[in-house]
Structure 1
Amino acid sequence: MGFWVLFVLNIIISSGDHGVFSCPQRCTCHFSSKSTEVVCPDASLSHFPNDSLPGNTTSLTIQYTNLDSITTHELRATPLLQELHLPGNRLSTLPADMLMGLPHLHTIDLTGNQLNDLPAQVFYHAPLLNLVLKDNLLTSANADWLPSNSNLTWLDLSGNRIMKAPFALLKNLGRLETLHLSQNLLEELPADSLHSLPALERLYLDNNKLQSLDAKAFSQNVNLTHLFLQKNKLESLPAMVFHGLDRLQYLDLSENRLRFLAPETLGLGISWVELNLNPWHCDAKMEYLWKWLNKQPVQSQPTCASPESLKDRAITTLTRKELGLAD
């Protein structure tokens, strides 16, 4: 009996491209009763690993290789695929029907490729929940990439060259919970840019060139819990810009050009705010922020940039007299 078991198993292993337990050269395969994971990290790899790729693959990772193209036909060989990770390759374009025949695919990661434009409907045909396009060469994000009824919950467009908020694309993403737009070239955020995202919880806008915010920029994003605005060029904030964000827990405004905050800017519910490395001018206009900081049990310690007599002093340590306030 043992001989026949080994004989049958040997046939399965050597049964070709779609063998259940086969594995491509220069790749590592992990088999279990519920999943088959294939990881190909070899820098010398320059072609899709068709040879011996298990037909029941559920997760495929090809990372930091010389892969410069991928076809729909190649991906169709893995109809049970749920996750496709392609970071650090040399892809400059994708086929328009790339995900055709992948009815279970929920995650695709294209971090660190050379994508500068994508064809219409490129991410149709699969029930995507997570889409990562970080660190590419994209200058815009087009509405026709995703269907209007998309179930996407995570979108990462950080580290590209996007100059305008992708309003048209975001209109299709009513279920989006996390949006990364960090490290782009955004200079403004029009009032209605994010109004189609009622489920949004985490928003990353850091490392852009934002100089101002509209008072209603986040008015429809009532589920926001984390908002990252550090390393921009914000010189002032509308007093009502964070009002209505009752679930907001964390706000990062560090490394901007803020000199003071208007009364009631921060509201009551925010438990942690990063304010360091702004040119805070410590005079009577600082009264609101000074009082707010002194009420918080745990805070980073922003310091005065001016006037010279108060430079580098922690704002919380100032007295009413030093701020020029009446007793």
Structure 2
Amino acid sequence: MDSRGLLALTLIFWYGCHGALSCPVRCTCHFGIQSVEAVCPDAALSRYPSDGLPGNTTSLTIQFTNLSSVSAHELGATTLLQELHLPGNRLSSLQADLLTGLHHLHTIDLTGNQLQELPARVFYHAPLLNLVLKDNWLTSVNADWLPANSSLTWLDLSGNKLRKIPSALLQKLSRLETLDLSQNLLEVLLAESLHSLHALERLHLDDNRLHSLDAKAFSHNTNLTHLFLQKNKLSSLSATVFHGLDRLQYLDLSENHLTFLTPGTLGLGISWVELTFNPWHCDAKIEYLWKRLNNMEVQSEPRCASPEALKDKAIAALMRKELGLAD
């Protein structure tokens, strides 16, 4: 038997002697050499599954249950926890000291609960990299949720009721790589809103109510590779709003209110721009977009919404004469 096999047998024997191979009722546990994963998906579960939960659990998932509360004391029994997934439960509040003692916790997922407000310092006590608060009832975000030296790289606040970009909190997140603010009630993106996010690579602002973007809204986000702006109310864009985004590969502007693009709006380095389902008005003002579409190898196929004579025609396939342009 090789050394790995011997180690595995030794650990299993040790765990067995100390009761570490137990598992709570209504849960399933998976035991690895260096990890223990517990998954509790039973809808009938209404209490935190303390009884039988291995103390060396590294990943805990309690999902789509009737769980309405979790305490710091309960989580404190599993100090090696690295991932905590609590989607689809009935949590309406969290304790301020909930994560105390969880010095290895890097991921917490609270998707689909009933959270409206969170206490100060609620995420202070763990070295979080990934924080998911998707599909809750949050109307505001407070800067004091996270420490100034936060290591967070992924923040998901989608599907809430936010009306403003949480700029004060974002100022603490200099390492953030992914920010998801989609499916909220955002209306304006101001110049300074995202300036602290120098490491940002993926930004989701889709499915909001944005009607304007400041010309310098993304000027400090030069590492952006993917930008999602679809399903908003944008009717015009500054010619320089995407300038400086030299790493940008994907830009989605579909399902807005755009009728034309100002010359120079789209950088030459973007390999895919999604422009469908805008009310493009096909006359001489659309010349820049028309030329841009014909110069891109990979491109969606936006179509004219007006005038009536050109309605539903692919913009890229139009002739100069149809646009009223001189030969």
**What band does the TM-score fall into relative to the shorter chain?**
over 0.9
Does structure 1 residue 264 correspond to structure 2 residue 264?
yes
Following superposition, the deviation at residue 10 of structure 1 comes to 9.2
Q: Is the 8 A contact 1:187 1:210 kept in 2?
A: yes
Written as runs of structure 1 = structure 2, the 5 A alignment for 1:219-258 is 219-258=219-258
Q: Which amino acid aligns with 2:132?
A: V
Partner SS for 1:144 = helix
Q: Which amino acid aligns with 1:188?
A: V
Q: Is the 8 A contact 1:14 1:22 kept in 2?
A: no
Written as runs of structure 1 = structure 2, the 5 A alignment for 1:14-33 is 19-33=19-33
Distance change in 2, residues 1:296/1:95 (3 Å): same
Q: Give the aligned partner of residue 112 of structure 1.
A: 112
Distance 1:294 1:103 in 2: 54
| Deviation digits for residues 227-281 of structure 1 (CA, Å, limit 9, x no counterpart) | 0000000000000000000000000000000000000000111010000000000
Distance 2:62 2:307 in 1: 55
| Deviation digits for residues 264-321 of structure 1 (CA, Å, limit 9, x no counterpart) | 0001110100000000000000000000000011211100000001000000111111
Partner SS for 2:124 = coil
| Length, aligned pairs only | 318
Q: Give the aligned partner of residue 59 of structure 2.
A: 59
Written as runs of structure 1 = structure 2, the 5 A alignment for 1:204-223 is 204-223=204-223
Q: Percent identity?
A: 75
Partner SS for 1:263 = coil
Partner SS for 2:61 = strand
Q: Give the aligned partner of residue 183 of structure 1.
A: 183
Following superposition, the deviation at residue 13 of structure 1 comes to 4.5
Following superposition, the deviation at residue 326 of structure 1 comes to 1.1
Does structure 1 residue 171 correspond to structure 2 residue 171?
yes
Q: Which amino acid aligns with 2:272?
A: W
| Deviation digits for residues 65-89 of structure 1 (CA, Å, limit 9, x no counterpart) | 0000000000000000000000000
Distance change in 2, residues 1:12/1:287 (3 Å): closer
Q: Is the 8 A contact 1:152 1:176 kept in 2?
A: yes
Distance 1:224 1:62 in 2: 34
Q: Which amino acid aligns with 1:203?
A: L
Following superposition, the deviation at residue 131 of structure 1 comes to 0.2
Q: Give the aligned partner of residue 4 of structure 1.
A: none
- TM-score (norm: length of structure 2): 0.95
Partner SS for 1:108 = strand
Written as runs of structure 1 = structure 2, the 5 A alignment for 1:23-102 is 23-102=23-102
Where structure 2 has 5 or more consecutive residues not aligned to the other structure, the ranges are 1-11
Q: Give the aligned partner of residue 314 of structure 2.
A: 314
Partner SS for 2:189 = coil
| Deviation digits for residues 15-54 of structure 1 (CA, Å, limit 9, x no counterpart) | 5xxx311110110000011100000000000000010110
Distance 2:13 2:240 in 1: 69
Q: Give the aligned partner of residue 146 of structure 2.
A: 146
RMSD: 1.5
Distance 1:10 1:326 in 2: 84
Q: Which amino acid aligns with 1:81?
A: L
Partner SS for 1:186 = coil
Following superposition, the deviation at residue 58 of structure 1 comes to 0.2
Distance change in 2, residues 1:26/1:10 (3 Å): farther
Does structure 1 residue 194 correspond to structure 2 residue 194?
yes
Where structure 1 has 5 or more consecutive residues not aligned to the other structure, the ranges are 1-8
Q: Which amino acid aligns with 1:294?
A: N
Q: Which amino acid aligns with 1:269?
A: G
Following superposition, the deviation at residue 141 of structure 1 comes to 1.0
- TM-score (norm: length of structure 1): 0.95
| Deviation digits for residues 82-136 of structure 1 (CA, Å, limit 9, x no counterpart) | 0000000000000001100100000000000000000000000100000000000
Following superposition, the deviation at residue 153 of structure 1 comes to 0.1
Q: Which amino acid aligns with 2:139?
A: T
Q: Is the 8 A contact 1:240 1:264 kept in 2?
A: yes
Q: Which amino acid aligns with 2:321?
A: K
Distance change in 2, residues 1:34/1:280 (3 Å): same
| Deviation digits for residues 178-226 of structure 1 (CA, Å, limit 9, x no counterpart) | 0000000000011100000000000000000000110000000000000
